[in-house]
Chain A
Amino acid sequence: MKKIVALMLALVMVFALVACGTEPKKDIHAKGEGVMTYAQYEAAAMDSEVVVETFVQAKQGWWEKDGVGVATLYTQDKDGAYFLYNMPCSKEDYDKMVTGTKLKVTGFKSTWDGEIEIIDATYEILEGNYVAEPIDVTDLLGKAELEKKMNMFASFKGLTIEASNDEGAAFLYKWNGTGQDGDDLYFNASLNGETYTFCVESYLCGKDTDVYKAVKALKVGDKVDMEGFLYWYNGAQPHITSVK
């Protein structure tokens, strides 16, 4: 009997240890109560209230608007992206937000010249971290399906740099060359005979960043692979974060 009891106790200990080692992992992508899936967000009407859980992928900037601190963030979950525009946010919280930080955001779905975004939002920083891998959208360039990937972290491979103006410049400061060093950079790149415009958004990637310097060093005819966020302004206008 003693042997059986000892054996039972040993088994209990073993199971207990095994159980300790395999505590089920919390699914960071599981949506909380009242939180929309990306599909629900996508289906939500414009100007309706939306509640999403999402992960910061990049911070465009923090500034004061009418004396209130606001943050503009590129965020996404595993299914899709949410651009958070001018979200009231303290500088302290903004500094806490890093790539991967999980947020619960309540705001209004809105569109501005084609860009779908969440505005007038409030947020809560949650536990959890997710950094998205870039999704390759090269084959979707110029196609209607590209819009479905709006705001996502994306890659564009094997494009060729084209002239941005009649003088043959490889890039322009501001969209028409009226800017100066430190302003947004615009450049064209082609694939299969079609030319697309890309942008280095200066708030997201300023003049001291590698990508800003890399674009300034581009020559017409260079072959490039790029990564960036699929921002929209009357059509795709990717905000590029890396050029190789």
Chain B
Amino acid sequence: MMKKVLALLLVCVSVFSLVACHGKRQNPEFVMPETFDAEKQHEITFWAKNDTNVHQVQVYEKAIEDFEALYPNVKVQLRLYTDYGVIYNDVITNIATNTTPNVCITYPDHIATYITGTNCVVPLDVLMNDPSYGLGGSALAFDGPTKEELVPQFLEECKIGDTYFALPFMRSTEACYVNATYLEKLGYTLPEVLTWDFVWEVSEAAAKKDEEGTYLLNGQKVLLPFIYKSTDNMMIQYLRQCGAGYSTDAGDVEIFNETTNAFLADIAKHVEAGAFSTFKIAGYPANFLNAGQCVFAVDSTAGATWMGSDAPLIDISEDRLVDFEIAVLPIPQIDPENPVMISQGPSVCVFNKEDPQEVLASWLFTQFLLTNDVQIGYSSTEGYAPVTLKAQQDEKYTTYIANRGVDNDEHYSVKIDATNLLTKYTENTFVTPVFNGSTSLRNAAGQMIENVTKSVKRKQTVDDAYLEKLQQEVTALYRLDQLSAGSVGQGSLGKLPTEAVALLGVLGAVWVFLALYFVIGQLRAKRRKNGKNS
């Protein structure tokens, strides 16, 4: 009887093992093939992000068409996203079933989580350096950039630890879009670089109302003098400008410090004065700016085509549009002599697959995204900068930049000013350390500003006790206390899948059963022995 039960349990273990393995096959480590097999058919998937911009979609489609013409054995399936967060969630879901895309637009922060899965994302060093198929390789069917032709700073942002896990695709930073007409009306002169003190001062001056609650500056019932799109960037850049802690490279959380608290207290004061709000609380900065309801709107340079009375993309009705002079400046600074701003924008990673030829096909497409036509085509859709020097120095690109303002579409002045801002200040940009959990820390940074802003609007008191409680709340919400030092690429994979839990449970039960079987067997043998002896 006992043997039958044991056999049954072993069968169960086998079945559960197979079930658990299904959909969670681990890919072998990628080994670079000697040559690319041009006869073998591949269908690769490309998950791409666009800014709800039809021109960007067209650039992707053209890139795919051109690539497929060069490599007829490779078909690229495009899947469009408009939100990095959604791509991230979908990738995480698909890692569990080994159905990741081949090529994916992403942020390095997200890759840090993806690479916690073994051999999930392909390390690119070997591919980049391959003399035939690497950057500028001799066997490429297109004129791609060499490694030296990538903007070094942007390439470095794709390194996690000592390994490249992505290539940069586009770069942007944040800009402050200023209603210069209002600034002048308030009696101020537009500086070359804004300081936080200046922005707060002007914003408070702009917030003055008459007895009926109408703003003196715009004659409307609505005015948000200073509105910030990405409050996580707001906190991160302010801390960096102050030289205050955010996190270490290894993932130690340093954000809870005196500078953070002082900044939050300062923000609270200005919210109370009606000088500040955020995208999450009020709406898109561009809509307020274009309706004459804002003086300073901070948003990505990749949002420049929405900014200004003549913007090619407008999201409010014509009757609400207000004509004004717009200026594109760096975000507010602590030290205007040494401006500091974030570098952001999409990168591209390659997911590993069983077939190295399929990975190589994916790599070729990834590189193709860095060719001049794609780089110049995509960067000119928004305030993006190409990530290759090769594209930045191409005559087609320099002509595009030189034609600033000749029309309000492709050469829209605000868009080109935003691009120029990034290329002018590339040396002044930084990125935050990437580790498994860095996305959570980034979210926490923004959430603190959002909470303080909401609380003040709700007439709650923001004092030391409030800030202490806020710190505890965001720590718990984003599990910041569970981020471990040295978690680069080795953090928790999160909750185990149900199948894995079941398998481990069965394995544990079998071991317990085997132990019991052994002990009972021993006892019986002893009894029999004792019985015989008695």
Chain A: residues with CB nearer than 8 A to chain B? Answer: 46-49, 66-68, 108, 110-114, 120, 174-180, 234-235
* Pairwise interchain contact A178-B53, C-beta atoms closer than 8 A: yes
| Contacts known (A175-B52, A178-B53); A113 close to B80, Cβ less than 8 A | no
Some 26 contacts from A to B, beta carbons below 8 A apart, are A47-B454, A47-B457, A47-B458, A47-B459, A48-B458, A66-B477, A66-B478, A68-B477, A108-B458, A110-B281, A111-B282, A112-B281, A112-B283, A113-B282, A113-B284, A114-B283, A175-B52, A176-B53, A177-B54, A178-B50, A178-B56, A178-B57, A179-B82, A180-B80, A234-B287, A234-B317
Rounded to whole angstroms, the CA-CA distance of A214 and B52 in the bound complex is: 24
Instruction: Tell me, yes or no, whether B443 is within 8 Å of chain A by CB.
Output: yes
Rounded to whole angstroms, the CA-CA distance of A180 and B79 in the bound complex is: 8
* Pairwise interchain contact B54-A178, C-beta atoms closer than 8 A: yes
Closest to A233 in B: B315
Chain B: residues with CB nearer than 8 A to chain A? Answer: 50, 52-54, 56-57, 79-80, 82, 281-284, 287, 313, 315-317, 320, 443, 454, 457-459, 477-478
CB-CB nearest 3 A-B residue pairs = A113-B283, A47-B457, A234-B316
| Contacts known (A49-B458, A66-B443, A113-B284); A174 close to B477, Cβ less than 8 A | no
Residues of the B chain whose Cβ atoms lie less than 8 Å from the Cβ of A48: 458
Rounded to whole angstroms, the CA-CA distance of A114 and B320 in the bound complex is: 13
Residues of the A chain whose Cβ atoms lie less than 8 Å from the Cβ of B317: 234-235
Rounded to whole angstroms, the CA-CA distance of A154 and B57 in the bound complex is: 35
Rounded to whole angstroms, the CA-CA distance of A175 and B284 in the bound complex is: 16
* Pairwise interchain contact A178-B80, C-beta atoms closer than 8 A: yes
Rounded to whole angstroms, the CA-CA distance of A216 and B443 in the bound complex is: 38
Closest to A47 in B: B457
Kindly list 17 other residue pairs between chains A and B, CB separation below 8 angstroms, not including A178-B52, A180-B80: A46-B457, A47-B454, A47-B457, A49-B458, A67-B477, A108-B458, A111-B282, A112-B282, A113-B282, A113-B283, A113-B284, A176-B313, A178-B50, A178-B53, A178-B80, A179-B80, A234-B283
Closest to A173 in B: B80
Rounded to whole angstroms, the CA-CA distance of A178 and B283 in the bound complex is: 21
Residues of the A chain whose Cβ atoms lie less than 8 Å from the Cβ of B478: 66
Residues of the A chain whose Cβ atoms lie less than 8 Å from the Cβ of B458: 47-49, 108
Closest to B477 in A: A66
Rounded to whole angstroms, the CA-CA distance of A114 and B54 in the bound complex is: 25
Residues of the A chain whose Cβ atoms lie less than 8 Å from the Cβ of B56: 178
Rounded to whole angstroms, the CA-CA distance of A67 and B478 in the bound complex is: 9
Residues of the B chain whose Cβ atoms lie less than 8 Å from the Cβ of A112: 281-283
Rounded to whole angstroms, the CA-CA distance of A120 and B454 in the bound complex is: 10
Residues of the A chain whose Cβ atoms lie less than 8 Å from the Cβ of B281: 110, 112
A46, A47, A175 pick with most chain B CB within 10 angstroms: A47
Residues of the B chain whose Cβ atoms lie less than 8 Å from the Cβ of A114: 283
Rounded to whole angstroms, the CA-CA distance of A66 and B446 in the bound complex is: 13
Chain A min CB distance to B412 (Å) = 16
Rounded to whole angstroms, the CA-CA distance of A68 and B457 in the bound complex is: 24
Rounded to whole angstroms, the CA-CA distance of A178 and B53 in the bound complex is: 6
* Pairwise interchain contact A176-B457, C-beta atoms closer than 8 A: no
* Pairwise interchain contact A234-B52, C-beta atoms closer than 8 A: no
Residues of the A chain whose Cβ atoms lie less than 8 Å from the Cβ of B82: 174, 178-179
* Pairwise interchain contact B287-A113, C-beta atoms closer than 8 A: yes
Chain B min CB distance to A165 (Å) = 9
A48, A108, A178 pick with most chain B CB within 10 angstroms: A178
Residues of the B chain whose Cβ atoms lie less than 8 Å from the Cβ of A120: 454
* Pairwise interchain contact B315-A234, C-beta atoms closer than 8 A: yes
Closest to A180 in B: B80
Chain B min CB distance to A66 (Å) = 6
Rounded to whole angstroms, the CA-CA distance of A110 and B457 in the bound complex is: 10
Rounded to whole angstroms, the CA-CA distance of A235 and B317 in the bound complex is: 8
Rounded to whole angstroms, the CA-CA distance of A180 and B80 in the bound complex is: 7
Rounded to whole angstroms, the CA-CA distance of A110 and B53 in the bound complex is: 29
Residues of the B chain whose Cβ atoms lie less than 8 Å from the Cβ of A178: 50, 52-54, 56-57, 80, 82
Rounded to whole angstroms, the CA-CA distance of A147 and B282 in the bound complex is: 18
Rounded to whole angstroms, the CA-CA distance of A112 and B450 in the bound complex is: 14
Residues of the B chain whose Cβ atoms lie less than 8 Å from the Cβ of A66: 443, 477-478
Residues of the B chain whose Cβ atoms lie less than 8 Å from the Cβ of A234: 283, 287, 315-317, 320
Closest to A175 in B: B52
Residues of the A chain whose Cβ atoms lie less than 8 Å from the Cβ of B443: 66
Chain B min CB distance to A202 (Å) = 12
Rounded to whole angstroms, the CA-CA distance of A112 and B283 in the bound complex is: 5
Rounded to whole angstroms, the CA-CA distance of A180 and B459 in the bound complex is: 43
Closest to A177 in B: B54
Closest to B57 in A: A178
Closest to A108 in B: B458
Rounded to whole angstroms, the CA-CA distance of A113 and B287 in the bound complex is: 8
Residues of the B chain whose Cβ atoms lie less than 8 Å from the Cβ of A108: 454, 458
Rounded to whole angstroms, the CA-CA distance of A117 and B58 in the bound complex is: 36
Chain B min CB distance to A114 (Å) = 7
Residues of the A chain whose Cβ atoms lie less than 8 Å from the Cβ of B52: 174-176, 178
Closest to B288 in A: A113
Rounded to whole angstroms, the CA-CA distance of A86 and B199 in the bound complex is: 32
Residues of the B chain whose Cβ atoms lie less than 8 Å from the Cβ of A175: 52
Rounded to whole angstroms, the CA-CA distance of A175 and B54 in the bound complex is: 10
Residues of the A chain whose Cβ atoms lie less than 8 Å from the Cβ of B457: 46-47
Rounded to whole angstroms, the CA-CA distance of A114 and B50 in the bound complex is: 25
Closest to B319 in A: A235
Residues of the A chain whose Cβ atoms lie less than 8 Å from the Cβ of B454: 47, 108, 120
Residues of the B chain whose Cβ atoms lie less than 8 Å from the Cβ of A177: 54
Rounded to whole angstroms, the CA-CA distance of A113 and B224 in the bound complex is: 12
Rounded to whole angstroms, the CA-CA distance of A48 and B458 in the bound complex is: 6
* Pairwise interchain contact A176-B54, C-beta atoms closer than 8 A: yes
Closest to B457 in A: A47
Chain A min CB distance to B120 (Å) = 22
Closest to A113 in B: B283
Closest to B316 in A: A234
Closest to A66 in B: B477
Residues of the A chain whose Cβ atoms lie less than 8 Å from the Cβ of B50: 178
Residues of the B chain whose Cβ atoms lie less than 8 Å from the Cβ of A68: 477
Rounded to whole angstroms, the CA-CA distance of A49 and B459 in the bound complex is: 10
Rounded to whole angstroms, the CA-CA distance of A235 and B314 in the bound complex is: 13
Residues of the B chain whose Cβ atoms lie less than 8 Å from the Cβ of A46: 457
Closest to B314 in A: A234
Rounded to whole angstroms, the CA-CA distance of A108 and B453 in the bound complex is: 14
Chain A min CB distance to B280 (Å) = 8
Chain A min CB distance to B319 (Å) = 10
Chain A min CB distance to B297 (Å) = 14
Rounded to whole angstroms, the CA-CA distance of A36 and B77 in the bound complex is: 53
Chain A min CB distance to B462 (Å) = 14
Rounded to whole angstroms, the CA-CA distance of A179 and B316 in the bound complex is: 20
Rounded to whole angstroms, the CA-CA distance of A19 and B201 in the bound complex is: 72
